[in-house]
Amino acid sequence: MIRSQFQYSKKVLKHFRNPHNLGKIKDPSGAGEVGNMACGDVMKLYIKVKSNVITEVKFETYGCAAAIATSSVITDLVKGKSIKEAIKMTNKEVIDSLDGLPPIKIHCSLLSIDALSEAIYDYLVKENLEIPKEVVLRHQRLKVHSS
């Protein structure tokens, strides 16, 4: 759902005021960090993986209410999912879970998906596992934009 220019849903405000899984995982299986230079948002996502399932996920985010809410909700969405399932997550799922975002804040949902993808990429590299093409392509795109 697209909301008016700056109208946040009750779910966005709930996640912003009381974010889920806030913090850092000591010795994570994978970590991903992304940012948006235009708005100043920076997201770091940590995952713990056991038997190919994300068993723990936490985040540290510096940014607006939408950045914090999307970081919080992505942790809820991926916990308990297999790596294969998590790779298929979309920003639409993040937006829908928050009952929508204002158009100017859609980029925050993309950042949360990118942070997850980078954490998965880091995990797969560390474990010397095959990295799916879509994860490699997203990683390459993110590295080009952050250079």
| Active-site residue list | 39, 108
Contact 123, 47 (CB under 8 A): yes
Token pair of 92 as six digits? 């639409």
HSE, side-chain direction, 13 A CA sphere, residue 57: 30
Q: How far apart are CA 25 and CA 22, in angstroms?
A: 10
Neighbours of 131 (CB within 10 A): 15
Among the listed residues 123, 125, 118, 112, the one whose alpha carbon sits nearest the alpha carbon of residue 142: 118
